[in-house]
Amino acid sequence: MTIRAGRPAVRALQPSLIRKLANAGIGRTDIIPLWFGEPDKPTPEFIRQAAKDAIDEGQTFYQPSRGIIELRAALADYTNRLYGASFTPENIVVTPSGMTALSVALQCMIADGAALVLPSPVWPNFAGSAEILGAEVVRVPIRPRAGVWSLDLDELFAACPAHTGALAINSPNNPTGWMLEDDEQRRIIDFCRERDIWLIADEVYNRIVYDRARAPSFADKVTDDDKYLIVNSFSKSWAMTGWRLGWLTAPESLAETLGSVSEFNFSCVFAPVQAAGITALQLGEPFIRESVARYRSALEAVERRFAELPRVTFPKPRATFYAFFAVDGVADSYAFAEKVLRETGVGLAPGAAFGPQGEGYLRLCFAADVALLERALSQMRPLLS
Ligand SMILES: Cc1ncc(COP(=O)(O)O)c(C=O)c1O
């Protein structure tokens, strides 16, 4: 007998195409995996040590559902330092991952049947977690224009139906590396105020930027009277994907509600993981600088190789560690990624995983050593030429 989920919205969920493809490669030992979005190096030792110390001290008990005050204070300071904002620990909720921050945010904002407006292509978990809640997802295309990914804000605003509950913006964007500028963020806030809709801003790639030290953020533009939630994570900036540690920045008056939603979702985050987060914030700046320098060299290597391939169109990412590229003649990205895997052993993510706007593209994560990337690009060359 096949048991199916009781909720129709859950029954309708589609499995992740990236996972599906990765499963197709299980058992092969020769694969160069560039399909997942994570740094290739383990978390730095000084961060790992902080967690080990906390475990040795016996920090194994339940913790406050909004996070320990020391970490919430450290996160408020960090954001204020980075963006000249004036958050207090009351604006911060610690979550077990950026993913959970997103689902908590959506649970707070999305009423039954409301629309979530989502510039796409975008990380698939936005649509998945909104659909679980019964939201209608309305996608607005991020398109390459003159070799740069861009979003037409007039088109975005015009696409928001009357029943829009929230506008969800991921900038810097996974998978394209597109990034909003300050003036565009101000226009978006004005629009949300005017229409009285929620803004959910996913800024998990705000430190992996190539033309400045940090991406423009909604953090220095919102006020405590705005309906906003900013999602962030330790995963990408501090190479902590497996730890599951993220946070939300939100208006102070929402603190109690967010505490309850957190309590009823995950209760609290493991104290040693939170201790590691504090150390990452205190000592992690040199690590971020070194990582971005490595990713920049990797990006330059990818750009050089792609420039030699006339069939490849590669709008340059301004941030993140993803190359999102199209190959002339490729219409079915999943079939092509499967072929690349089968014939070259290189694991790419199919663009269709990021919504219909991503179809025809492939995503390559270049958070890897240049030598490995060069090998992957050489192996793929016959299929891209
Ligand atoms: C845009 C975006 N937001 C959030 C996340 C979630 O990060 P985590 O759940 O590891 O904190 C990811 C991970 O790939 C992402 O790409």
CATH code of the domain containing 301: 3.90.1150.10
Please give the residue that has the higher pLDDT: either 22 or 178.
178
Model confidence pLDDT, tens digit, residues 39-68: 999 999 999 999 999 999 999 999 999 999
CA of 291 to the centre of ligand 1 (A): 17
* CA 155 to centroid of chain Cα atoms: 23
Does one domain contain both 175 and 235?
yes
CA of 57 to the centre of ligand 1 (A): 30
Does one domain contain both 29 and 113?
no
Q: Catalogue the E-assigned strands of 34-163.
A: 92-95, 115-120, 136-141, 143-145, 148-150
Look at the chain and report how many structural domains it folds into: 2
**So what's the pLDDT on residue 63?**
98
Does one domain contain both 114 and 214?
yes
pLDDT band per the 50, 70, 90 thresholds, residue 24: confident
CA of 3 to the centre of ligand 1 (A): 30
Q: Decide if 385 is inside a domain.
A: no
Closest CA to 291 of 239, 243, 337: 239
CA of 75 to the centre of ligand 1 (A): 18
Residue at token pair 């928001």? 160
Q: Is pLDDT above 90 for 26?
A: no
How much is the average pLDDT of 118-135?
95
Does one domain contain both 82 and 195?
yes
pLDDT band per the 50, 70, 90 thresholds, residue 91: very high
Q: For residue 101, what are the CA distances in angstroms to 144, 216, 333? A: 29, 20, 30
**So what's the pLDDT on residue 349?**
96
Does one domain contain both 259 and 298?
no
Q: Decide if 242 is inside a domain.
A: yes
Q: Decide if 2 is inside a domain.
A: no
**So what's the pLDDT on residue 255?**
93
Mean pLDDT of the chain: 96
Does one domain contain both 275 and 300?
no
Does one domain contain both 264 and 300?
no
Model confidence pLDDT, tens digit, residues 211-261: 999 999 999 999 999 999 999 999 999 999 999 999 999 999 999 999 999
Does one domain contain both 34 and 100?
no
Determine if ligand 1 sits within 6 Å of the CB of residue 18: no
Which domain CATH number covers 250? 3.40.640.10
Model confidence pLDDT, tens digit, residues 296-334: 999 999 999 999 999 999 999 999 999 999 999 999 999
**So what's the pLDDT on residue 14?**
85
Does one domain contain both 190 and 318?
no
**So what's the pLDDT on residue 153?**
98
Last residue of a domain, one of 283, 300, 324: 283
Last residue of a domain, one of 245, 267, 283: 283
Q: Per the structure block, which two tokens stand in for 149?
A: 């990914």
Determine if ligand 1 sits within 6 Å of the CB of residue 204: yes
**So what's the pLDDT on residue 176?**
98
**So what's the pLDDT on residue 88?**
98
**So what's the pLDDT on residue 245?**
98
CA of 246 to the centre of ligand 1 (A): 9
**So what's the pLDDT on residue 112?**
81
Last residue of a domain, one of 283, 317, 335: 283
CA of 38 to the centre of ligand 1 (A): 9
Does one domain contain both 173 and 194?
yes
Q: Decide if 251 is inside a domain.
A: yes
Mutate which of 103, 123, 230 for ligand 1 pocket (most atoms within 8 A of beta carbon): 123
Contacts (Cβ under 8 Å, ≥6 apart) of 267: 62, 65
Q: Decide if 49 is inside a domain.
A: no
Q: Decide if 3 is inside a domain.
A: no
**So what's the pLDDT on residue 28?**
84
Does one domain contain both 204 and 121?
yes
Q: Is pLDDT above 90 for 185?
A: yes
How much is the average pLDDT of 272-295?
98
**pTM score above 0.95:** yes
How much is the average pLDDT of 183-191?
98
Name the DSSP letter for residue 165.
E
Q: Decide if 52 is inside a domain.
A: no
pLDDT band per the 50, 70, 90 thresholds, residue 27: confident
- Long-range contacts of range 313-318, CB-CB < 8 Å, 24 or more positions apart? 313/144, 315/144, 315/147, 315/148, 315/149, 315/176, 316/147, 316/148, 316/177, 317/149, 317/172, 317/176, 317/177, 317/178, 317/210, 318/148, 318/149, 318/172, 318/177, 318/178, 318/179, 318/209, 318/210, 318/211
Domain that holds residue 107: 57-283
**So what's the pLDDT on residue 214?**
97
CA of 329 to the centre of ligand 1 (A): 31
For ligand 1, what atom is nearest to the CA of residue 241? 10
Handedness of CA 102, 211, 323, 355 (dihedral sign): positive
Closest CA to 363 of 112, 125, 176, 119: 176
Asked if 266 contacts 95 with a C-beta cutoff of 8 angstroms, the reply is: yes
Ligand 1, atom 14, lies closest to the CA of 37
pLDDT band per the 50, 70, 90 thresholds, residue 29: confident
**So what's the pLDDT on residue 300?**
97
Determine if ligand 1 sits within 6 Å of the CB of residue 67: no
Q: Catalogue the E-assigned strands of 171-211.
A: 198-202
**So what's the pLDDT on residue 143?**
96
**So what's the pLDDT on residue 197?**
96
Determine if ligand 1 sits within 6 Å of the CB of residue 173: no
Determine if ligand 1 sits within 6 Å of the CB of residue 98: yes
Asked if 378 contacts 46 with a C-beta cutoff of 8 angstroms, the reply is: no
pLDDT band per the 50, 70, 90 thresholds, residue 188: very high
Does one domain contain both 292 and 326?
yes
**So what's the pLDDT on residue 16?**
87
DSSP character string of 210-260:
SSSSS---GGGT--TTS-EEEEEESTTTTT-GGG--EEEE--GGGHHHHHH
Q: Decide if 174 is inside a domain.
A: yes
